[in-house]
Chains A and B, each alone.
Chain A
Amino acid sequence: MLLIPAIDLKDGNCVRLRQGRRDETTVFSDDPVATAERWAEAGAERLHIIDLDGAASGKPENMQWVERITKQSPPAASPRWKTSRRCARPTKKAYTAWCWGARCTRARWTSPKPANSSTGCARRRNGAEGGAGAWELPGHEMPAAPAAGPGLTMPLARRVIPCLDVNRGRVVKGVNFVNITDAGDPVEIAGRYNDEGADEITFLDITASSDGRDIMLGIVERVAGEVFMPLTVGGGVRDVEDIRRLHRAGADKIAINTAAVHDPDLVRRAVEKVGTQCIVVAIDAKKNNGNWEIYTHGGRTPTGLDAVQWARRMEDCGCGEILLTSMDRDGTRKGFDLALTRRISESVNIPVIASGGVGCLEHLVEGVTEGLADAVLAASIFHYREHTIREAKEYMRARGVEVRL
């Protein structure tokens, strides 16, 4: 269980509003930085910072305090920062988490009815006290659903796909493809997502060595035998034989990335063997002078290929879906690269799965309404139990997105 202390900021003070009423304020401290440090010393792994003035005015008002808090170094003497699994690299990670809390309230700041915000804060504080979750943004508190665009009236549900990066049989989650932390056992996590109503599960095998790859086959077999929903597996797929082995093990779809760049005809050959519906082309793209360039090898190698042209070419080769990851956003929790997602989605006539950067539930909605994605993929917000899949879907439905509940 994760206990998250919350700091409500109003006029530069740490406050508590009685029943959310701004005229009934108790000031606990006039020094938010000192308060944050005190929580850190007491062993808090995350902080939840709420800008009450911002909630009322509709724009950030206490950013200077958030920034000052996030710039502080954690107390070196506090051993819990170092031993915490979640904060394996305490100085950076912990403070990134602090920023996310503030960023996630941005969804509320855009609310046309600021009154919603105070109730939301109250709800969140209750959540923190119960240790249930950090940034709960319940759907029924959100502003009215946006007018449905042509894509939103389709009865086909937008899919919510939890992604599990697997390294030597363990689920891990990287930040910008580099830092990696452990998040658990893949079969167990897949079972939990199934129970929560995930529409599909994606495993990306990031194991470097070939002997580790057989572990993945075993995991796919176990998951496919227990979880009756679509299963996509990618990472390190080199040739048609790899694809057939994963397919036989129980993968419904196989994602190809690097190998497709080296050998574009692989996609065509694979489609001939296992069918269009089985082949997903994974695109890792990074913004470069107004365009997006494809990277391979888990985001390490630039290719000089343009992402939009590449997506079209892969569609011509017969691939059934595009799994589109923004490398600029992956692991940052800043939300999808919506411009990229929209460009690709409008450029091809096959489903596009948006990936990379989800930090709160509003990001999932944006991926569909602004990025025009057919499916949204996320990892951290689900692995770390900040939100269940069901919460995510209820939130999306409240915002007018068709989901399966």
Chain B
Amino acid sequence: MTTITIVDYGMGNLRSVEKALQCVSPQRTRIVTGGDAGLIDGADKVVFPGQGAAGDCMGAIHARGLAAPLARAAAEKPFLGICMGLQVLLERSDENGGTDCLGVFAGRVRHLNEHAGAAPGRKIPHIGWNRVRQTRRHPLWHGIADDEHFYFVHSYHVEPADDALVAGRTEYGAEFACAVASGLVFAVQFHPEKSAANGLRLLENFVRWDGAL
């Protein structure tokens, strides 16, 4: 039996993530939602969602002693970051006057308005369905056409130091990285659990993924 742990650190509603994973998982899959280090260490796969501000998220992660277990999980087992679960994987976010993050990836998180070359007058947050251009092949894109729509809700975006880690890009006034992949980690800015058929397909791909590239 495979155990997938959804990391609950008090940031946002995880019910949709849980229900969507249940919807696409084979019967012999245990889906656990919780915030204990033991649940992360004991899982075969980890889903790391998150909503809200970077400062609050990192505060909650440290308060629960989850920084080390999350870093371990990202190195050892298939790991899916969603929304804030992508942003806090970088070294530092500009949000809340500057917030140190987990540093799984080198790079930083910036406000959408501070994007180089950003067109003025865009509405922030970036809310809605936008196209995702797949910049390289990955098992989690399997069966999903290029340039399909996914659902976004965010005001900040990631800038990984290594451009080769970017797996998908989206344009909102200017292009930004909306999917980052390295080794066992795949992390997305959009919400697969809210992205109808394409989102469910991505989650299903994750459930089936053995970590091989």
The total of Cβ contacts below 8 Å across the A-B interface reads 94
Interface of B is mostly: mixed
By beta carbon, the residue of chain B nearest A150 is B121
Q: How far is the CB of B158 from chain A (nearest CB, A)?
A: 17
- Are B124 and A350 within 8 A (Cβ)? yes
- B21 to chain A: closest CB distance in Å? 10
| Residues A224 and B51 in contact, CB atoms below 8 Å apart | no
- In the complex, A53→B128 CA distance in Å? 42
CB neighbours (8 Å) of A159 from chain B are: 128-129
Q: Given the complex, which residues of B lie within 8 Å of A42, measured CB to CB? A: none
Specify which chain A residues have a CB less than 8 angstroms from the CB of B151 in the assembled complex: 229-230
Q: B210 CB to closest chain A CB, in angstroms?
A: 24
How many Å lie between the Cα of A154 and that of B131 in the bound state? 10
CA distance A230 to B150 in the complex (A): 11
Residue of A nearest to B150 (CB): A404
B199 cross-chain contacts in A, Cβ below 8 A: 228
Closest CB in chain A relative to B202 CB, distance in Å: 11
Interface majority SS (helix, strand, loop, mixed), chain A: loop
For the complex, give the distance between the alpha carbons of A228 and B19 in Å: 9
Smallest beta-carbon distance B5→chain A, Å: 20
Q: How far is the CA of A193 from the CA of B96 in the complex (A)?
A: 38
Contact indicator B196/A194 (Cβ below 8 Å) = yes
Complex Cα spacing A224 to B129, Å: 18
Q: How many angstroms between the C-alpha atoms of A155 and B159 in the bound complex?
A: 21
Q: Given the complex, which residues of B lie within 8 Å of A226, measured CB to CB?
A: 19
- Closest CB in chain A relative to B6 CB, distance in Å: 15
Nearest chain B residue, comparing its CB with the CB of A375: B128
Interface string of B168-189 (1 = CB under 8 A from A): 0011110000000000000000
Q: Does A250 contact B (CB under 8 A)?
A: yes
In the assembled complex, the CB of B17 is this many whole angstroms from the nearest CB of chain A, namely 10
The answer to whether A248 and B153 touch across the interface, beta carbons within 8 angstroms, is no
The residues of B with any CB-CB pair to A shorter than 8 Å are 12-13, 15-16, 19-20, 23, 51-53, 121-131, 149, 151, 153-155, 170-173, 193-196, 199-200
Task: Beyond the given A225-B15, A228-B19, A230-B194, please list 16 additional residue pairs across the A-B interface where CB-CB is below 8 A.
Answer: A150-B121, A154-B122, A154-B173, A155-B172, A157-B129, A221-B15, A228-B23, A230-B153, A248-B15, A250-B15, A252-B153, A277-B51, A277-B125, A350-B123, A350-B124, A404-B129
